[in-house]
Amino acid sequence: MKRTVVFVYLVRNFVKTMVFGALVAGAANAENFVFTSGISKYDNPFRNSKANIDTNTVTSGSSTVFNAGAFWDEVWERDGSYSIEMAAAHLDPATSKNTFTYNTATWNNLTVQRQDVCGHFGGWPNLTDGIVWATGAWAYYRVTGDASFLAFAYPIVRNSLAMAEVAGAGGWIVLDKTDSLYRGCSSFMESNSGYPKPFAGNQSYTDMTKPAVGNTKCGSTNMLYYHAWIVADSMAKLLGKSQATLDTLNARAMTIKNAINKQLWNASKGYYYYIKYQDGTTLLDRNEGLADAFAILYDIADSAKKASILNNTIPCAWGVMCQYPQDPDWECYKTGCPSAQDADYYHTGMVWPFVMGYYAWAASKEKNVNVFMYQIDKLAQLWAKPDTRNTSSDKPTNGQEFLEFYHPEDGVPDGGHRQLWSAAGYFSMVIHGLFGMKFDVDGVRFDPIVPDTFKNAMTLNNFIYRKDTLNMTVTGPGKYLQSFTLDGASTAPFFPATLTGKHTIVMTMTNSPVGTLNSLGSNALESSRIKVSGISNQGMSLTFGSCQKVDAVFYSLTGKRMGEFNTANGIIAISNHMLVPGSYIIKWNSERVGGLQKIMLK
């Protein structure tokens, strides 16, 4: 990765961690986060992923922060944020927190996210994907429950969103209000090889006579901006902001979501376009793996689009590619690049493990067993591949490490060694996929996906979550939870953040949908208890009569799990972005009372 650090108008703001008082617990020791499937092919990479993440740190002043990999002393904002969301917030919350405070800058006397800078296109406003800071910060908060960090992060997210709407150099504004899309480079693909040849090296984003990434609207970056508005809304709720503020934040998110689906959805191919050109009409017909994963994970795509993405994305022999098809102008790695730099080719259809991690996460959310299994299996194989390069900048290895990226034809390792977000991608496949962990502000929800390969019992022991140590077992195979026990008691698949100490979770999987009437038993069925109320443009509320503490799971009419909700007051508020209009089956439980009911959301 040949990235050049050049600071533009953003001024670095080194915020010391002591502003927030004592740090949360540091890096986990070797006895924590122990995954065992009984298959060394998959167990060994997980063990190495922990060591990899723990090793990728550097010191800034009195603070330890994450760096990108063995050859990168820089603290890359996007590398850190993605890695923290997928894995690092669990393994080393203290360094994760430091990394966020490090990756800030000053704009108009306000603290904002720092934008990474590259050699080919410079920084802001050609590159605008630093808004991923919001996604990473929200993930960190949900994992740790760190209230002081939440109060610190919310204004930074709001300021960063505001920065994209104020004229900068040359009067340029990142948000194009004519189509409600954000300008700037595709997230992380900030080299010449990520774009058609006419874009090469052009940093004149205000020069409309020739293509420039600063003039394009890219799928992944726009999805990050949408998610940042959702994050701002979620943070604002927790901080007790006014209803008017919440309404504004949610409305802004919906505007961008609608713009993405209206302008960037490629109906003929069944996935999202890569970029919208500066002319406002031309669309680059390529499949961007990261954008399609975000569309699923952030619920930008509806159910039909999600299924279409997973069915129509074309993987190579080694997993999902960063973009497809490859650009023949940037395939010099096959014959030899004149400048001998991987930036001449590393964004044209290469296989990046962290993209595989997000794509596998998206597949697990949609219960697509085949797509999920393909990604985790291929990444385990890539991890084992020896790197036989022997140049002045790359030391040869015997394999068994996470490199930066791999060639799509033959899986040849390339780029930097001991890559932070590559290791995080594999860690994520295990915790978010195989164990189905979803970290919310009030606890952890579980919805595993277990391919036949892992049909024997898997364990994930000494998993540190806030003030708890979890020992988890999953027996399968299957994509539906048949049973869930917490410390021996059958309960909803949820671990409350209010608990402390050591706990045991056992999950049993099945391949049969559980959305059937007889699964609850006739004595528990009260089919007409749910009432709909509070209907507005923002969503609706469901009430459960006199029941207060309710766990509810939404299924499609075919038995597909669509979402989970929990309430302590008997009311579940459903925002428009949570579930698309349609018919659902709701299976719910409240202490000894439960039920199953069909409901239509309009």
40 pLDDT above the threshold of 50: yes
Question: Quick one: pLDDT at residue 523?
Answer: 30
- Cβ distance 495 to 487 under 8 Å? no
- pLDDT, tens only, 115-128: 999 999 999 999 99
Question: Quick one: pLDDT at residue 13?
Answer: 32
Question: Quick one: pLDDT at residue 558?
Answer: 65
4 pLDDT above the threshold of 50: no
- What secondary structure does DSSP assign to 372-392, as a single string? HHHHHHHHHHHHH--B---SS
Q: What is the pTM of this model?
A: 0.85
402 pLDDT above the threshold of 90: yes
Beta bridge partners of 564: 553
545 pLDDT above the threshold of 90: no
Q: What are phi and psi of 439, to 5 degrees?
A: -90, 115
Q: Tell me, yes or no, whether 516 lies in a domain.
A: no
- pLDDT, tens only, 341-374: 899 999 999 999 999 999 999 999 999 999 999 9
Question: Are 397 and 472 in a shared domain?
Answer: no
Question: Are 109 and 239 in a shared domain?
Answer: yes
Question: Are 415 and 489 in a shared domain?
Answer: no
Question: Are 43 and 113 in a shared domain?
Answer: yes
Whole-number Cα distances in Å, 505 to 32, 91, 175, 444, 448: 16, 20, 46, 12, 13
Domain count, the chain: 3
Tokens of 293: 């994963």
Q: Is the bond preceding residue 413 a cis peptide, omega within 30 degrees?
A: no
452 pLDDT above the threshold of 60: yes
Question: Are 91 and 201 in a shared domain?
Answer: yes
Question: Quick one: pLDDT at residue 170?
Answer: 82
Question: Are 345 and 310 in a shared domain?
Answer: yes
Q: Strand, helix or coil at 287?
A: strand
The H or E element containing residue 540 is: strand 539-543
180 pLDDT above the threshold of 70: yes
436 pLDDT above the threshold of 60: yes
Question: Are 369 and 492 in a shared domain?
Answer: no
Radius of gyration of the chain (CA): 23
Q: Tell me, yes or no, whether 56 lies in a domain.
A: yes
99 pLDDT above the threshold of 60: yes
Question: Quick one: pLDDT at residue 463?
Answer: 98
Average pLDDT of the residues of the chain: 88
Cα 394 from Cα 373, distance rounded (Å): 31
Q: What are phi and psi of 497, to 5 degrees?
A: -70, -15
Question: Are 303 and 452 in a shared domain?
Answer: no
The Cα diameter of the chain in Å comes to: 75
How big is the chain, counted in residues?
Answer: 602
Q: At what angle do helices 219-238 and 147-163 cross, to 10 degrees?
A: 140
Q: Tell me, yes or no, whether 591 lies in a domain.
A: yes
Question: Are 410 and 334 in a shared domain?
Answer: yes
Which of 431, 448, 473 is the endpoint of a domain?
Answer: 431
Question: Quick one: pLDDT at residue 534?
Answer: 60
Question: Are 281 and 187 in a shared domain?
Answer: yes
12 pLDDT above the threshold of 60: no
Percent of the chain scored above 70 by pLDDT?
86
Cα 84 from Cα 56, distance rounded (Å): 12
Which of 431, 452, 477 is the endpoint of a domain?
Answer: 431
**Cβ count near 273 (within 10 Å):** 22
User: Between 343 and 15, where is the model more confident?
Assistant: 343
Q: Strand, helix or coil at 369?
A: helix
100 pLDDT above the threshold of 70: yes
Cα 97 from Cα 87, distance rounded (Å): 13
Question: Are 454 and 373 in a shared domain?
Answer: no
Question: For 202-220, what is the mean pLDDT?
Answer: 91
Select from 258, 184, 218 the least CA-distant residue to 250.
258
- pLDDT, tens only, 252-284: 999 999 999 999 999 999 999 999 999 999 999
User: Between 163 and 535, where is the model more confident?
Assistant: 163
Which of 485, 510, 535 is the endpoint of a domain?
Answer: 510
Q: How confident is the model at residue 339 (pLDDT cuts 50, 70, 90)?
A: confident
Question: For 318-325, what is the mean pLDDT?
Answer: 97
Which CATH number characterizes residue 415's domain? Answer: 1.50.10.10
What is the residue range of 549's domain? 526-601
Q: How confident is the model at residue 395 (pLDDT cuts 50, 70, 90)?
A: low
- Cβ distance 477 to 509 under 8 Å? yes
User: Between 462 and 61, where is the model more confident?
Assistant: 462
**Cβ count near 579 (within 10 Å):** 19
Q: Tell me, yes or no, whether 222 lies in a domain.
A: yes
Q: Tell me, yes or no, whether 1 lies in a domain.
A: no
Q: How confident is the model at residue 398 (pLDDT cuts 50, 70, 90)?
A: confident
Question: Are 401 and 461 in a shared domain?
Answer: no
Q: Tell me, yes or no, whether 533 lies in a domain.
A: yes
Q: Tell me, yes or no, whether 6 lies in a domain.
A: no
Which CATH number characterizes residue 457's domain? Answer: 2.60.420.10
522 pLDDT above the threshold of 50: no
Q: Tell me, yes or no, whether 520 lies in a domain.
A: no
- Cβ distance 460 to 493 under 8 Å? no
Core vs surface per residue 27-59: b (16+ CB within 10 A) or e: bbeeeebbbbbeeeebbebbbbbbebbbebbbe
Cα 295 from Cα 283, distance rounded (Å): 18
Four-CA torsion 90, 5, 359, 401, nearest 10 degrees = -70
Query: Among the listed ranges 34-38, 336-340, 426-430, 572-576, which one has the minimum average pLDDT value?
Result: 572-576
Cα 85 from Cα 89, distance rounded (Å): 6
Q: What are phi and psi of 222, to 5 degrees?
A: -65, -35
Can you tell me which residue has the tokens 């020791």? 29
